[in-house]
Copies of this chain bind each other. A is one copy, B any other.
Amino acid sequence: MTYGSPDRQDGTLTQGGYSDSIVVSEHFVLQMPDGIDLASAAPILCAGITTYSPLKHHGVGKGHKVGIIGMGGLGHMGVKLAKALGAEVTVFTRSEAKVEEAKRNGADHVVVSSDQAQMDAVAETFDFMLDTVPVQHDLNPYLATLRYDGTHILVGLMDPIEPAVEGFNLIFKRRVLAGSLIGGIPETQELLKLCAEQNITCDVEMIDIQEINTAFERMEKGDVRYRFVIDMQSLKR
């Protein structure tokens, strides 16, 4: 693996992006478009492509209503990218506090998922739901917001998916529950181009490597909007 695994050549631990230099097959190299801010673009290679790939694969575009579940690192990119693809975007969040934040990121609407009346009001209205929440949560209330033939896409890992999905939520409306993991190199290059053209970046906070422990503690508390990016120049200090 890229990080913390035995190197194939000399058996030392791999350092991935923390290396001063790295030898890699050209098939795995991406070109950063001119004019893109490197720090803001860095998470496009993970949070960006993880949300873009399934939206593209499932054909999300103009005329579609898309729900984004969770307003974090993946969620805020999901909003921007679903908008860039032409969809009408609704953020689902448990927290009233994130309503303004979702709108600032471009969401057309926000549903507070803990408010049953708000959930009932959007029953059977969505074409796609992009679920970025990486902890166990009940999918059934979200499945109920999908129209006939709607698709719920999981990009956050849940093992197992509990509470269990009710079969009727899939069968009666021919709905689909789909998974997706990151994306390939050509698709990532396509995304970088799109982001450069439409001026789409991740919201990041740049830190020096010396601040990594504080940043880790803040991340655990959810105190980051939305990704820390390490300035590797600081490694030499």
Contact = CB atoms under 8 A, between A and B. Distances in A.
Given A162-B164, A165-B161, A181 B176 contact: no
Give the number of times this chain occurs in the complex, counting copies: 2
A171 B157 CA distance: 7
Interface in A166-192: 166-181
Contacts of A167: 154, 156-161, 179
Q: How large is the interface on A (under 10, 10 to 19, 20 to 34, 35 or more residues)?
A: 20 to 34
A192 to B, nearest CB: 21
A91 B51 CA distance: 36
B154 A160 contact: no
A163 interface: yes
Contacts of A154: 167, 170-171
A161 B157 contact: no
A159 B143 CA distance: 14
A155 interface: yes
Interface of A: 54, 57, 154-181
